Amino acid sequence: MMPWIRCRSLLLAGLAVAAVTFVPAPVRAAAPSDQARFTEYVVAKLRAAMPGAKFTIREPLVIGVYDPDTGTATASPERVWRYCSVNSEAACEQAIGYWIAGIKAPPVEDRKVDRSKIRAVVRTAKVLADYAVQLRRPIVMAPLAGDLRIACVIDLPTNLSYLGEPDLKELGLSQEEAIALGIRNVAANLKPLRDVLMGDPDDPWGHSDGDDYESGRILLHEDLAELSQAWGDRLIVAVPGTHTVLYADGRRPDALAKMRDAVKVEMTHSERAISSTLLLWTKTGWEVIPPIRVTIPPAPAAGSTARRSRVSECGPRGRRRGRRRQHRASLPPCAGDRALSRPPS
């Protein structure tokens, strides 16, 4: 078991003992566990928070929203429901509050776009597509690796508002310039990795925790070069939630299996889960690790040229060449096995 998972398990166990000792009866969460009743519970809170809007329950965990200022949209509290099902009442209520704050349209004066408030974040393509439909405008984003995308948000006092393409004109920036600015702003506000990386330096596991922008640490590609070098250029990372990045030494035969287990645990308890995708740090960018892969091959020796490159292995249109040769039979499919370029700087 990884050190940080073990520590958290001990902490949870201690809290559980404390709860049995000092609480005479179990405390039930205010939010219902049933999907339909949970949706009704959330809608009641939405109506209280947004009295001028109208809400329709289309199906469990799917809510139609009509706001006179922003128009019609669809919202789903599914991720919040999953979070509430395994967390405390207080944590659940806080997550619902965050979700409602994201639905509410901020005041016009607070929504004013300021370059200093632009931040780059990591999200999945599906999440951003859903938000684009909800906001009824294209969102500024760019590919990162696999299902992950780089998006820009405006850091407001009460929530994060996604930067839309119409905002670029007000900023006087292109999409590439806005993303590069967001990455620089994130870098300026994050502490150095060596100051926040948790774990024994000799241990092949680690994690860093912080605020909503901690997951953006994987956008600072060069900042992870030292850790990757220390682990033989086999650094594996994952961003299971907005507040956390997981790290592992891919030279260990059990690295991928343990990382996948850790990601599942983190995503279950994260208020804003992101992705279970595992990434391998390379000098040219992030490489997606396919789910079927069980180990990471050793890094090429310094100054050497790999005998078979990914392009020659996969050939045109992702077709692998020479599949009849026995020593290639264990290689994973080409799909999802390509290295992607690093974020803009």
Each residue of 225-272: pLDDT tens digit?
999 998 999 999 999 999 999 999 999 999 999 999 999 999 888 878
- Compare 312 and 212 and report the one with higher pLDDT: 212
DSSP letter at 164 equals B
* Dist. CA 279–CA 299, nearest whole Å: 15
Residue-wise pLDDT tens digits, 172-220: 999 999 999 999 999 999 999 888 888 765 678 889 988 889 999 999 9
Residue-wise pLDDT tens digits, 27-64: 444 788 888 999 999 999 999 988 888 999 988 888 88
pLDDT over threshold 60, residue 332? no
Q: Which token pair is 138? A: 């294209």
Average pLDDT over residues 12-41: 60
**Are 90 and 35 within 8 A, CB to CB?**
no
pLDDT over threshold 90, residue 142? yes
pLDDT over threshold 90, residue 83? no
Cα angle 236-326-311, degrees, rounded to a multiple of 5: 50
pLDDT over threshold 70, residue 106? no
* Dist. CA 262–CA 260, nearest whole Å: 5
Q: Are strands 235-241 and 141-145 parallel, antiparallel or unpaired?
A: unpaired
Q: Please give the model's pTM, rounded to 2 decimal places.
A: 0.64
User: pLDDT value at position 157?
Assistant: 65
In the chain, the N- to C-terminal Cα span, in Å, equals 37
pLDDT over threshold 50, residue 281? yes
* Dist. CA 215–CA 198, nearest whole Å: 15
Buried b (16+ CB within 10 A) or exposed e, 12-27: eeeeeeeeeeeeeeee
Q: Which token pair is 240? A: 């299971």
User: pLDDT value at position 237?
Assistant: 95
* Dist. CA 16–CA 27, nearest whole Å: 12
* Dist. CA 32–CA 313, nearest whole Å: 52
